[in-house]
């Protein structure tokens, strides 16, 4: 275990990843930002400095470490108005936390307004020195991380609900219809070697259909959880999700298209659009000649099973949970606002964590309007999310936890034995014939207010979120946040925050 010190400087800059120049938010000068790499057991100190200057993309910020549990360090979760006041321009905030119990593929992004869509995002990889799958691959480094995102030619506030992105960027590069033939991302492989590819969907809107011409994959990780090896040839990855898969460079030396088709709007793949290049060492420095192959074996979530499985928490059958919650989401088709059990999420003016620490422990004290659900400690929670009133898929992310998906979208089967464990799940929608009712279980072993929300950033902005205030009485203040909070929270001195 080691202490890793990193600095992230957030600022505005013009970028042209697809040849179209626009202003954006960059991290240490680039978007996506630099990869944060650490080993399981390390302690991370990440000093975030806000130098943002363009008001239309917001000058304040906060950074969330998506998928890291923040066990005992809820205050480091980086969720504006849930765990902290935003960092204001000109100030810094030190995020300091352990990654003791986790390894896998994660990412970081702004958790303030729509900022991540304007560029504030990057990959995190936590390597496991004792990875049980080490024998399955030869290479696992920064070159095998593949990020996917949707890119727009206007700032996020100006993207309409029905607007499509200009294109998909792979590792921060891409093209758009009618645009210049800018350089695409190239992943170089050596024939005969096996690669652990870490795929991250950092998009703001679409789920993405990912494949590589002439190559199969073996999935071994979902959202930071080791899975039993699952052979597939196509992966649908929802916003916020991650997968690791083994790619064997077992085809003739050549160039092959890496394809990332947006799943939720019509845009046909044409050579070079929504794509990157897999290049074998020895192949010419050219673009692939088009060679698809029939995709017959897509990833299906119910086929994913955990590598180490102790069963679903709670007695392994319906009714075995201690607390059951139904969360009915409704989209108002006129206002486009989302109601969660009748409530539109709006950020409170005092972050929920500060309210908890100043003695508000009941849901009604915390948020009379019903945004906050208190959860008792050490209980099994079963959460179902019916979708009668939704007509599009929504990827839901829970902070502070991973959960068992006992019922997946597109499925009516309940698996209480060995379902996938993850932190971001597609809740599906109402097809007009059937409607999904995704059901998850988790144990309240991590005190603090944790966000649960749709990861499509415009949906979060329009109210598709709640906060779980888990074990309010047991919520601890992380060390050394007082001065930061005093600095950033206007009302801090009027709150009576005690340990």
Instruction: Return residues touching Cu ion (CB under 5 A).
Output: 394, 454, 456, 459
Q: Quick one: which of 257, 451, 458, 485 contacts ligand C2O (CB under 6 A)?
A: 451
Q: Residue 370 corresponds to which tokens in the numbers above? A: 């019903």
Euclidean distance between CA atoms 403 and 401, whole angstroms: 6
Q: Quick one: which of 104, 240, 262, 272 contacts ligand C2O (CB under 6 A)?
A: 240
Q: Quick one: which of 59, 71, 109, 242 contacts ligand C2O (CB under 6 A)?
A: 109
Name which of Cu ion, ligand C2O, none residue 422 binds, using a CB cut-off of 5 to 8 Å depending on partner kind.
none
Euclidean distance between CA atoms 343 and 337, whole angstroms: 10
Name which of ligand C2O, Cu ion, none residue 397 binds, using a CB cut-off of 5 to 8 Å depending on partner kind.
ligand C2O
Q: Does 407 bind ligand C2O (CB under 6 A)?
A: no
Beta-bridged to residue 450, according to DSSP, are: 468
Query: Could you say which DSSP state residue 477 is in?
Result: P
Cβ proximity to ligand C2O: between 111 and 462 the closer is 111
Q: In 3D, which of 172, 268, 256, 264 has the Cα closest to residue 214? A: 256
Cβ proximity to Cu ion: between 26 and 452 the closer is 452
Name which of Cu ion, ligand C2O, none residue 456 binds, using a CB cut-off of 5 to 8 Å depending on partner kind.
Cu ion
**Roughly how many angstroms between the first and final C-alpha of the chain, as a whole number?**
29
Q: How far is the CB of 28 from ligand C2O (least distance, A)?
A: 20
Site string for ligand C2O, 36-75 (x = CB under 6 A): ----------------------------x-x---------
Cβ proximity to Cu ion: between 52 and 454 the closer is 454
Name which of Cu ion, ligand C2O, none residue 239 binds, using a CB cut-off of 5 to 8 Å depending on partner kind.
none
Q: How far is the CB of 223 from ligand C2O (least distance, A)?
A: 11
Cβ proximity to ligand C2O: between 109 and 422 the closer is 109
Beta-bridged to residue 340, according to DSSP, are: 329, 343
Q: In 3D, which of 80, 83, 24 has the Cα closest to residue 52? A: 24
Number of Cβ within 10 Å of residue 390's Cβ equals: 22
Q: How far is the CB of 458 from ligand C2O (least distance, A)?
A: 14
Q: How far is the CB of 424 from Cu ion (least distance, A)?
A: 12
Q: In 3D, which of 474, 398, 488 has the Cα closest to residue 94? A: 488
Q: Residue 392 corresponds to which tokens in the numbers above? A: 């599009």
Q: Residue 76 corresponds to which tokens in the numbers above? A: 């480091």
Q: Does 196 bind ligand C2O (CB under 6 A)?
A: no
Q: Does 399 bind ligand C2O (CB under 6 A)?
A: yes
Q: Residue 30 corresponds to which tokens in the numbers above? A: 């680039």
Q: In this chain, which stretch among 13-21, 162-170, 243-251, 451-459 interacts with ligand C2O, using CB under 6 A?
A: 451-459
For 485-494, which contacts have Cβ atoms below 8 Å and span 24 or more sequence positions?
A: 485/84, 485/85, 485/354, 487/91, 488/84, 488/85, 488/86, 488/87, 488/88, 488/91, 488/93, 489/85, 489/350, 489/351, 489/354, 490/85, 491/349, 491/350, 491/354, 492/85, 492/354
Euclidean distance between CA atoms 172 and 122, whole angstroms: 10
Cβ proximity to Cu ion: between 44 and 203 the closer is 203
Q: Quick one: which of 215, 453, 459, 462 contacts ligand C2O (CB under 6 A)?
A: 453
Q: How far is the CB of 150 from Cu ion (least distance, A)?
A: 14
Cβ proximity to Cu ion: between 206 and 224 the closer is 206
Q: In this chain, which stretch among 19-27, 385-393, 450-458, 470-478 interacts with ligand C2O, using CB under 6 A?
A: 450-458
Q: Does 404 bind ligand C2O (CB under 6 A)?
A: no
Residue nearest to ligand C2O (CB): 66
Give the count of residues interacting with ligand C2O (CB under 6 A). 10
| CA dist 174 → 16, 150, 156, 310, 410 (Å) | 10, 10, 18, 42, 31
Check if the beta carbon of residue 35 is closer than 8 Å to that of residue 122: yes
Site string for ligand C2O, 120-159 (x = CB under 6 A): ----------------------------------------
Angle at the Cα of 8 (from 4 to 14), degrees rounded to 5? 150
Euclidean distance between CA atoms 86 and 50, whole angstroms: 10
Binding site for ligand C2O (CB under 6 A): 64, 66, 109, 111, 240, 397, 399, 451, 453, 455
């Amino acid at each position: 275990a080691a202490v890793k010190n990193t600095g992230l400087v957030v600022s505005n800059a013009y970028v042209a990843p697809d040849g179209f120049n626009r202003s954006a938010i960059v991290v240490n000068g680039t978007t996506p930002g630099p990869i944060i790499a650490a080993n399981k057991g390390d302690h991370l100190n990440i000093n975030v400095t806000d130098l943002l200057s363009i008001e239309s993309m917001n000058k304040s910020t906060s950074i969330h470490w998506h998928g890291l549990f923040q066990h005992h360090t809820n205050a480091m979760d980086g969720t504006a108005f849930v765990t902290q006041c935003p960092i204001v321009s000109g100030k810094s905030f030190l995020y300091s936390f352990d990654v003791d119990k986790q390894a896998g593929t994660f990412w970081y992004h702004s958790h303030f307004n729509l900022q991540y869509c304007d560029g504030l995002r990057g990959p995190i990889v936590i390597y496991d020195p004792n990875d049980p799958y080490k024998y399955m691959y030869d290479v696992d480094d920064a070159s095998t991380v593949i990020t996917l995102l949707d890119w727009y030619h206007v700032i996020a506030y100006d993207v309409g609900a029905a607007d499509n992105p200009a294109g998909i960027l792979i590792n921060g590069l891409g093209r758009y219809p009618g645009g210049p033939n800018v350089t695409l991302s190239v992943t170089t492989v050596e024939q005969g070697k096996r690669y652990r590819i870490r795929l991250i969907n950092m998009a703001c809107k679409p789920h993405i259909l990912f494949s590589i011409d002439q190559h199969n994959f073996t999935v071994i990780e979902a959202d930071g959880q080791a899975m039993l090896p699952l052979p597939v040839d196509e992966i649908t990855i929802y916003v916020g999700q991650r997968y690791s898969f083994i790619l064997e460079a077992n085809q003739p030396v050549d160039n092959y298209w890496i394809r990332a088709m947006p799943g939720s709007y019509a845009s046909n793949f044409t050579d070079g659009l929504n794509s990157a290049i897999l290049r074998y060492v020895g192949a010419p420095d050219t673009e692939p000649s088009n060679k698809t192959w029939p995709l017959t074996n897509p990833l299906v979530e119910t086929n994913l099973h955990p590598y180490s499985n102790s069963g679903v928490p709670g007695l392994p059958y319906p009714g075995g949970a201690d607390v059951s919650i139904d969360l009915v989401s409704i989209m108002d088709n006129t206002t486009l606002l989302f109601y969660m059990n009748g409530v539109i999420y709006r950020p409170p003016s005092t972050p929920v964590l500060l309210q908890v620490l100043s003695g508000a422990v009941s849901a009604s004290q915390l948020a009379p309007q019903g945004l906050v659900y208190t959860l008792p400690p050490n209980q099994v929670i079963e959460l179902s999310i019916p979708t009668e009133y939704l007509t599009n898929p929504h990827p839901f992310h829970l902070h502070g936890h991973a959960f068992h998906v006992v019922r997946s979208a597109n499925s009516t089967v309940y698996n209480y034995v060995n379902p996938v464990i993850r932190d971001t799940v597609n809740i599906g929608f109402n097809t007009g014939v059937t409607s999904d009712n995704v059901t998850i279980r988790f144990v309240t072993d991590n005190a603090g207010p944790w966000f649960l929300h749709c990861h499509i950033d415009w949906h979060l902005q329009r109210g598709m979120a709640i906060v779980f205030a888990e074990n309010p009485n047991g919520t601890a203040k992380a060390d050394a946040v007082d001065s930061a909070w005093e600095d950033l929270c206007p009302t801090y001195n009027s709150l009576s925050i005690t340990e």
